[in-house]
Amino acid sequence: MAGRTGRVTATDVAKEAGVSQTTVSYVLNDVPHQKISEQTRRRVLDAVAKLGYKPSAAARALRLGRSDLVLMFLPDVPVGGTLTALVELLGDELERHGLNLVTRRERHAPLKSLWQELMPAAVMSAFEVSAEDVAAMRAAGIHVVSAGMGPAAAPGVLTIPQTFIGAMQVERLADTGHVRLGYAAPGDPRLRDFLALRLEGARTACAERGLEPPVLLDVPLDIAAAAAAAEQWHSADPAVTGVCAYNDETAFALLAGMRRVGLSAPGDLAVIGVDNDKLAPFAMPPLTTIDNNLDVVVGRAARMIVSGVTGRALPSSPQVTPLSLIVRESA
């Protein structure tokens, strides 16, 4: 075997272990009710380790009657810490159920061409999918889960209500005495759909409390631009005293810009972000933020995917909005 080239097969493992190929299959797939001695099982596993055998994904799909791939189709948005963490957590959770996560971005290829090429067991889209696409995938035997950003839940849709985020930010600032608010928007136009919903939530919350709508300014990841926005809010009449930032990155930029022009949080401008970035406690001052609680989101997504692919019902968790306020010094 030392001179072998090419892919190692189950037949090679059977020869090395001195057993039949059927026995190899039984051992590797842990088939129940088979009278295979521990000694034989050990010979097979030792042969697998010695030869570096890896089962064929195609053969496994034929055996199971389905693929083990889950395609996560991502929107064309900046890949920040939150999206990276979401993909990592979901990949780990699906792996526990024998499923493998692959990700693709919208700008690289349309969804239809991707699922037709990969023929995954399931597709999860990080945005709502058209009814036509959903029908085509389901007709091909693919389970579909999409993520909705609005407040209303629908079958097969994982709801992550963006409007609640803006409302929670306003509630925190209003509860701490701020009556004239600003909203720090990201400079990237690819985030406009998320921004529109979060801003809608902030405006609605202001109206419910009898406050003027938040003063909207762009705060790109540029200290000079962030400093100009901070000065504009601070010098307004009446002055803006609290700012809802689109996300923690935007909040970090705003805090840096404030320091450049001698303003401080929360005394001159209270600042609240979104995402509970791992660097939020190390901001100057530590950043108050809204935590998306990705573990809750991932748990729901995994249950929807696994139950749809395998037909097994997984334990459910209470259907609560996966958002929580993390209070630190900035607001």
pLDDT at 306 exceeding the cut of 90: no
Please tell me the distance from the alpha carbon of residue 178 to that of residue 241, in angstroms, as a whole number.
6
pLDDT at 2 exceeding the cut of 50: no
Q: What pLDDT was estimated at residue 100?
A: 87
Is the model more confident about 178 or about 70?
178
| H and E: helices and strands count for the chain | 12, 11
Please tell me the distance from the alpha carbon of residue 144 to that of residue 123, in angstroms, as a whole number.
5
pLDDT at 62 exceeding the cut of 50: no
Q: What is the pLDDT of residues 235-291, one digit of tens each?
A: 999 999 999 999 999 999 999 999 999 999 999 999 999 999 999 999 999 999 999
pLDDT at 317 exceeding the cut of 60: no
CA trace torsion 41, 45, 48, 54 (10° rounding):
90
Average pLDDT of the segment spanning 113-119: 76
Pick from 162, 142, 139, 138: which is nearest to 150 by CA? Answer: 162
Task: Name the 3-class secondary structure at 38.
Answer: helix
Average pLDDT of the segment spanning 94-102: 85
Q: What pLDDT was estimated at residue 253?
A: 97
- 282's CB contacts (< 8 A; 6+ apart) are none
Token pair 């929670």 in the structure block, residue: 168
Average pLDDT of the segment spanning 38-51: 89
Average pLDDT of the segment spanning 105-119: 72
Task: Output the average pLDDT for the chain.
Answer: 83
Sheet with 215-218, edge to edge strand ranges:
215-218, 181-185, 242-245, 270-274, 288-291, 324-326
Check if the beta carbon of residue 76 is closer than 8 Å to that of residue 285.
Answer: no
Token pair 């993909």 in the structure block, residue: 87
Check if the beta carbon of residue 195 is closer than 8 Å to that of residue 183.
Answer: no
Q: With a threshold of 0.75, does the pTM exceed it?
A: no
Average pLDDT of the segment spanning 17-44: 81
Confidence of residue 135 (pLDDT cuts 50, 70, 90): confident
Average pLDDT of the segment spanning 86-111: 80
Average pLDDT of the segment spanning 23-39: 77
- Percent of the chain topping pLDDT 70: 83
